[in-house]
């Protein structure tokens, strides 16, 4: 195939930041995607319904004129989160999920959960009303190797939470291991899993071989090639509808990435759909891209599939993108896949 048309895709895990950065990067997502689950790890975090409403207004103001992009808001789970506030925000239609960050797991996660017993009431309320819990699936205990954090999280945190809270709908976000793939695939309809664009493309060698590459550094960190291949199989096989696209596109200015203690995150909002077409074509699975990018996510979140469409076209000329997105906060380097991509979004 040289052309493929899909229902307009959604991004089920996106960082837009705030202020000048938000204004600079929001149009990059709105160009191709109809909706996105917006991460709440601002400073201060989005913890109450009123916070989410105000943040949503700022996002809408940052969009290009005429854009129909819809931000789907989330709340940041803390040990002081009020179950009634969560229920009210969900009932209003404003909030589509609550985000669990283990404290210290990633960017701006210091307000996250340390004692899971303190959020039991919130989780039980969410189970009653069917509101999904999105989890950053890593433990943060210093004795656990960074490459093992996801597997240990499944065993010691995620599975116990689900067993203690029957009916809780959970999305394990940005899966990076075969352990994560196998766990999500074995669960029922109350479990989903997102896979990022960059984790389908890079393994840990891309970060470390030939010198440290800060723009490939992300959390959860990329793992061995065997794990990358498991992610590709999960995304492209189409055999399990629990898996769907969540880019985890995470903008940081270059000065924050290219430093002695660089921030974690890859920025892929601009070119995710051509990159995915390349990955799926390489697996002989272009016909499965629609499920992964356009259908499985809405099904889990109980939302309709988008009515609009997006067409991808393969040409003899490789695609070109700017090396950096210039924002009012500073330049943001675009993720480099390391190979030519001949797929283009047809405008």
Q: What is each CA distance from 154 to 139, 182, 198, 231, 278, in whole angstroms?
A: 9, 11, 22, 16, 31
Rounded Cα distance between 130 and 302, Å, is 10
| Angle, vertex CA 13, rays to CA 12 and CA 16, nearest 5 | 125
Taking the C-alpha atoms of residue 286 and residue 276, their distance in angstroms, rounded to an integer, is 9
**C-alpha pair distances (Å), 337 with each of 33, 198, 255, 275, 325:** 20, 8, 21, 8, 16
Q: Active site includes 115?
A: no
Q: Residue 257's closest CA among 332, 325, 174? A: 332
Q: 3-7 and 309-314 as β-strands: parallel, antiparallel, unpaired?
A: antiparallel
Q: What is d(CA 318, CA 108) in angstroms, rounded to the nearest whole number?
A: 37
91: part of which helix (H) or strand (E)?
A: helix 83-91
- Residue 157 is classified by DSSP as I
Tokens of 89: 């925000």
Catalytic option among 182, 248, 287, 336 = 248
> How far is 97 from 76, CA to CA, in rounded Å?
9
Catalytic residue annotation:
248
């Amino acid at each position: 195939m040289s052309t493929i048309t899909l229902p307009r895709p959604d991004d089920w895990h996106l960082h837009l930041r705030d202020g000048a950065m938000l204004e600079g990067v929001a149009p990059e997502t709105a160009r191709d995607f109809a909706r996105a689950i917006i991460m709440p790890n601002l400073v201060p975090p989005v913890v109450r319904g009123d916070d989410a409403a105000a943040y949503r207004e700022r996002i809408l103001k940052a969009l290009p004129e005429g854009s129909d992009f819809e931000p789907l808001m989330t709340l940041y789970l803390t040990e002081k989160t009020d179950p009634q506030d969560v229920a009210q925000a969900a009932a209003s239609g404003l909030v589509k999920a609550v985000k669990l960050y283990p404290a210290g797991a990633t960017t701006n996660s210091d307000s996250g959960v340390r004692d899971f017993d303190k959020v039991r009431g919130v989780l039980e309320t969410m189970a009653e009303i069917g509101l999904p819990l999105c989890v950053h699936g890593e433990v943060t205990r210093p004795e656990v190797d960074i490459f093992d954090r996801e597997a240990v999280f499944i065993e010691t945190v995620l599975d116990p939470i689900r067993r203690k809270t029957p009916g809780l709908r959970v999305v394990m976000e940005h899966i990076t291991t075969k352990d994560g793939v196998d766990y999500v695939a074995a669960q029922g309809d109350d479990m989903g899993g997102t896979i990022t664009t960059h984790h389908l493309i890079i393994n840990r060698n891309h970060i470390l071989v030939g010198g440290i590459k800060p723009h490939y550094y992300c959390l959860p960190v990329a793992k061995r090639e065997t794990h990358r291949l498991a992610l590709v199989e999960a995304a492209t096989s189409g055999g399990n509808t629990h898996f769907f696209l969540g880019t985890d596109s995470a903008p940081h200015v270059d000065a924050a990435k290219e430093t002695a203690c660089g921030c974690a995150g890859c920025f892929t909002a601009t070119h995710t759909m051509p990159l995915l077409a390349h990955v799926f074509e390489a697996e002989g699975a272009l016909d499965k891209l629609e499920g992964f990018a356009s259908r499985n996510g809405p099904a889990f979140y109980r939302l309709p599939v988008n009515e609009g469409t997006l067409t991808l076209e393969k040409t003899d000329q490789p695609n070109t993108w700017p090396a950096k997105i210039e924002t009012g906060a500073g330049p943001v380097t675009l993720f480099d896949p390391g190979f030519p991509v001949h797929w283009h979004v047809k405008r």
